[in-house]
Amino acid sequence: MSTITRSDVAYVAGLAQLDMDEAATERLVDEMNSILDYMAKLNELDTDAVEPMMHAMALTNVFREDEVAPSLPRELALRGAPVHDEEYFMVPKILDAEGGGA
Amino acid sequence: MEYEAVIGMEVHVQLNCKSKVFCGCSTNFDAPANTNVCPVCLGMPGAMPVLNREMVTKSVAVGLALGCTISRWSKMDRKNYFYPDQSKNYQISQYDLPINHDGFLDIDVDGKKKRIGITRAHMEEDTARNTHTLGGGQSGVDFNRCGLPLLEIVTEPDIRSADEAYAYLTELKQILQYLEVSDCSMEEGKLRAEANISVRPVGTEPFGTKTEVKNVASFSGTYKAIEFEIARQIQVLNDGGKIIQETRGWDDDRGVTFSQRAKESAHDYRYFPEPDLVPIVVDEAWEAAIKEGQPELPTPRRTRLIETFGLSAYDAGVLTQTRAMADYFEATAAEVPDAKKAANWIMGDLQALITQEEGDLSTIKITPLQLASMINLIEDGTISGKIAKEVLVDMFQTGNDPKAIVEAKGLVQISDTGELEQMIAAVLEKNPAQVEEFRSGKEKVIGFLVGQVMQATKGKANPKMVNEILRKQLST
Amino acid sequence: MSPWYEKSAFEIREAVASGAVSARAVTESFLARIDAVDAQVGAYTQVWRDEALAQADAVDAKIAAGEPVGALAGVPISLKELICTQAGETTCSSKILAGFQSPYDATVTQKLLADDAVVLGKVNMDEFAMGSSTENSAVQKTANPWDLSRVPGGSSGGSAASVASATSAISFGSDTGGSIRQPAAFCGCVGLKPTYGRVSRYGLVAFASSLDQIGPLTRDVRDAALAMNVISGKDPRDATSADLPAEDFTKKLGASIAGLKIGLPKEYFVDALGSEVRTLVEKATKVLEEQGAEIVEVSLPHTEYAVSVYYIVAPAEASANLARFDGVRYGFRHPDAKNVTEMYVKSKSEGFGEEVQRRIMLGTYVLSSGYYDAYYLKAQKVRTLITRDFDEAFKACDIILTPTTPSTAFAMGEKSSDPLEMYLNDIFTISANLAGIPGISLPCGKSASGLPVGFQLLSKAFDEATLLQTAYCYEQHGGNDLGLPALS
Ligand SMILES: [Mg+2]
Ligand SMILES: [Zn+2]
Distance C173 CA to ligand 2 centre (A): 27
pLDDT at B445: 87
What is the distance between the alpha carbons of residues C16 and B68, in angstroms, rounded to a whole number? 64
CB pairs under 8 A between A and B: 153
Q: Is the pLDDT confidence value at B135 over 60?
A: yes
Strands B51-52 and A63-64: parallel
The number of helices, as runs of H, and strands, as runs of E, in chain B is: 16, 17
> Which strand ranges, in their side-by-side order, compose the sheet holding B138-142?
A89-92, B138-142, B129-131
Contacts of A67 (CB under 8 A, 6+ apart): B18, B19, B24
Under an 8 A CB cutoff, do C330 and A89 touch? Answer: no
Tell me if chain A has a CB within 8 Å of the CB of C125.
Answer: no
User: What is the DSSP secondary-structure string of A21-88?
Assistant: -HHHHHHHHHHHHHHHHHHGGGGGS--TTPPP--SSS-----EE-S-------HHHHHHT-SSB-SS-
Nearest to B14 by CA among B180, B215, B148, B172: B148
| Integer Cα distance of B333 and B306 in angstroms | 13
- Name the residue facing B39 among C82, C103, C210 (closest C-beta): C103
Element housing B321 (H / E): none
Supply the Cα-derived Rg of chain A in whole angstroms: 22
Q: Where in the sequence numbering do the catalytic residues of C fall?
A: 80, 155, 179
Q: Which of residues 39-98 of A touch C (CB under 8 A)?
A: 39, 41-43, 45, 47, 50-57, 59, 62, 64, 72, 76-77, 79-83, 89, 91-95
Q: How far is CA C356 from CA C130, C162, C314, C326, C353, in A?
A: 7, 24, 12, 14, 5
- Name every chain A residue with its beta carbon within 8 A of the beta carbon of B40: none
Among chain B residues, the shortest Cα distance to A98 is held by B260
Whole-number pLDDT of residue A2: 66
E strands within C55-210?
A: 76-80, 118-123, 170-175, 190-193
Taking an 8 Å cut-off on Cβ atoms, the answer to whether A47 and C211 are in contact is: no
In what helix (H) or strand (E) does residue C4 lie, and over which residues does it extend? none
Amino acid letter, residue A61: N
Q: How far is the CA of C411 from the centre of ligand 2 (A)?
A: 46
Across the range C37-50, mean pLDDT stands at 98
- The pTM of the full predicted model, rounded to 2 decimals, is 0.92
The Cα B101–Cα B78 span in angstroms is: 19
Q: What are the chain C neighbours of B24 within 8 Å (beta carbons)?
A: none
Contact C268, C277 (CB under 8 A): no
Instruction: For residue B186, give Cα distances in angstroms to B182, B221, C350.
Output: 11, 11, 42
At B70-101, the pLDDT tens digits run 999 999 999 999 999 999 999 999 999 999 99
In this prediction, residue B440 has a pLDDT band, given cuts at 50, 70 and 90, of confident
**Spatial contact of C165 and C142, defined as CB atoms under 8 Å apart:** no
pLDDT in tens, C111-131: 999 999 999 999 999 999 999
pLDDT at B383: 86
Beta bridge partners of B155: B118
What's the confidence (pLDDT) of residue B262?
56
C118/C12 Cα distance (integer angstroms):
12
Other Cβ atoms within 10 Å of B356 Cβ, number: 9
B471: closest CA among B440, B450, B457, B454?
Answer: B450
What rounded mean pLDDT belongs to chain B?
Answer: 93
Q: Exposed, middle or buried: residue C432 (CB in 10 Å: 0-12, 13-18, 19+)?
A: buried
Q: Are strands B280-281 and B73-74 parallel, antiparallel or unpaired?
A: antiparallel
Cβ of C384 within 8 Å of Cβ of A93? The answer is: no
Q: What is the pLDDT of residues C346-374, one digit of tens each?
A: 999 999 999 999 999 999 999 999 999 99
Query: CB C28: neighbour CB atoms within 10 A?
Result: 18
Please name the helix (run of DSSP H) or strand (run of DSSP E) that holds residue B212, with its range, or none.
Answer: strand B211-213
Tell me the C-alpha distance between A68 and A74, whole Å.
Answer: 17
Name the closest ligand to CA B151: 1
pLDDT level of residue A66 (50, 70, 90 thresholds): very high
**Mutate: best of B38, B276, B281, partner C, most C CBs <10 A:** B276
Chain B residues touching residue C362 (CB < 8 angstroms)? none
Cα–Cα distance, C253 to C226 (Å, whole number): 11
A53 in reach of chain B (CB within 8 A): no
Interface test with C, best of A1, A2, A7, A18 (most C CBs within 10 A): A18
Residue A94 pLDDT grade (very low, low, confident, very high; cuts 50, 70, 90) = confident
Quote the CA–CA distance of C95 and C111 in Å, as a whole number: 28
Distance B125 CA to ligand 1 centre (A): 8
> What is the nearest CA distance from B288 to chain C, expressed in angstroms?
25
Query: Is A91 within 8 Å of B84 when comparing Cβ atoms?
Result: yes
Instruction: Using a CB–CB cutoff of 8 Å, tell me whether A51 touches chain B.
Output: no
Q: Taking CB atoms and an 8 Å limit, are C384 and A45 in contact across chains?
A: no
A10 CB neighbour count, 10 Å cutoff: 12
C-alpha radius of gyration, chain B, whole number? 31
For B458-474, what is the mean pLDDT?
85
Q: Calculate ∠ Cα B230-B174-B365, nearest 5°.
A: 135
From the CB of residue C427, how many other CB atoms can be counted at a distance below 10 Å?
23
Percent of chain C having pLDDT more than 90? 93
- C250 or C418: which leads in pLDDT: C250
Listed in sequence order, the residues at least 6 apart from C310 whose beta carbon sits closer than 8 Å to its beta carbon are C177, C211, C423, C426, C430, C433, C434
Q: Residue C327: its chain B contacts at CB < 8 A? A: none
Confidence of residue A102 (pLDDT cuts 50, 70, 90): low
| Type of residue found at B428 | L
**What's the average model confidence in pLDDT over A1-7?**
83
pLDDT of amino acid A97: 47
CB contacts of A102 in chain B (<8 Å) are: 12, 91, 93, 124-127, 150, 152
Residue A2 Cα, ligand 1 centroid: separation in angstroms? 32
Each residue's pLDDT tens digit, C268-316: 998 778 899 999 999 999 999 999 999 999 999 999 999 999 999 999 9
Question: What whole-number distance in Å separates Cα of residue A56 and Cα of residue C439?
Answer: 14
Give the C window 409-438 contacts with A, CB below 8 Å: 419-420, 423, 433-436
Q: C238: nearest CA in chain B?
A: B48
Ligand whose nearest atom lies closest to the CA of B79: 1
- Residue C470 in this model has a pLDDT that exceeds 60: yes
The Cα angle at residue A13 between residues C135 and A20, in degrees rounded to 5:
65
Interatomic CA distance for residues C301 and C303, integer angstroms: 6
- What is the pLDDT, as a whole number, of residue C162? 98
Rounded mean pLDDT of B365-390?
Answer: 91
What does the pLDDT average to over C165-175?
A: 98
Give the list of residues 6+ apart from residue C150 with CB closer than 8 angstroms, or none: C143, C144, C186, C409, C410, C411, C412, C451
Sign of CA dihedral B391, B392, B396, B399: positive
Give the pLDDT score at B436.
87
CA–CA–CA angle C33, C36, C38 (5° rounding): 85
- For A12, name the nearest residue in chain C, comparing CA atoms only: C365
Closest CA to C146 of C461, C459, C446: C446
- Beta-carbon separation of C339 and A55 below 8 A: no
| C279-286 contacts, C-beta under 8 A, 24 or more apart | C280/C444, C280/C445, C280/C447, C280/C453, C280/C455, C281/C401, C281/C402, C281/C403, C281/C444, C281/C453, C281/C455, C283/C444, C283/C445, C284/C401, C284/C444, C284/C445, C284/C455, C284/C474, C284/C478, C285/C401
| Distance linking the first and last C-alpha atoms of chain A | 34
**pLDDT of res. C415:** 83
Are B137 and A93 inside 8 Å of each other by CB?
A: yes
CB contact under 8 A, A1 and C374: yes
The rounded distance, in Å, linking the Cα atoms of A24 and A79 is 34
Mutation target for B interface from C110, C202, C210, C433: give the one with most B CBs within 10 A.
C202
Say whether B87 and C368 touch across the interface (CB within 8 A).
Answer: no
Distance from the Cα of residue C485 to its chain's centroid: 20
Please provide the DSSP assignment of C346-411 as one string. HHHHHHS-HHHHHHHHHHHHHHSTTTTIIIIIHHHHHHHHHHHHHHHHHHH-SEEEEES-SSSPPB
C-alpha C192/C-alpha C194 separation (Å) is 6
Give the amino acid at B336.
Answer: V
Predicted local distance difference test score (pLDDT) of residue A101: 55
Stretch C390-397: mean pLDDT: 98
Q: Is C268 left (phi over 0), alpha (psi -120 to 50) or beta?
A: alpha
Chain-chain contact of B34 with A78 (C-beta, under 8 angstroms):
yes
Q: Exposed e or buried b for every residue in B102-127, given b needs 16+ CB within 10 A?
A: ebebebbeeeeeeebbbbbbbbbbbb
Quickly count: other Cβ atoms within 10 Å of residue C448's Cβ: 7
The full length of chain A comes to 102
CA distances from B17 to B29, B74, C154 (A): 12, 20, 44
Query: Touching C: which chains, 3+ CB pairs < 8 A?
Result: A, B
* Dist CA C40 CA B197 (whole Å): 68
**What pLDDT, on a 0 to 100 scale, did the predictor assign at position A100?**
57
Are the C-beta atoms of residues C169 and C8 closer than 8 Å to each other? yes
Residue B264 has pLDDT above 60, yes or no: no
Give B140→chain C minimum CA distance, Å. Answer: 10
* Predicted pLDDT at A98: 43
- For residues C53 and B418, give the distance between their C-alpha atoms in angstroms, rounded to a whole number: 106
Indicate the residue type of B447: G
Q: Is the dihedral of CA C124, C128, C134, C138 positive or negative?
A: negative
The full DSSP string for B386-431 is: HHHHHHHHHHHHH---HHHHHHHTT---B--HHHHHHHHHHHHHH-
> From the CA of C386, how many Å to the nearest CA of chain A?
10
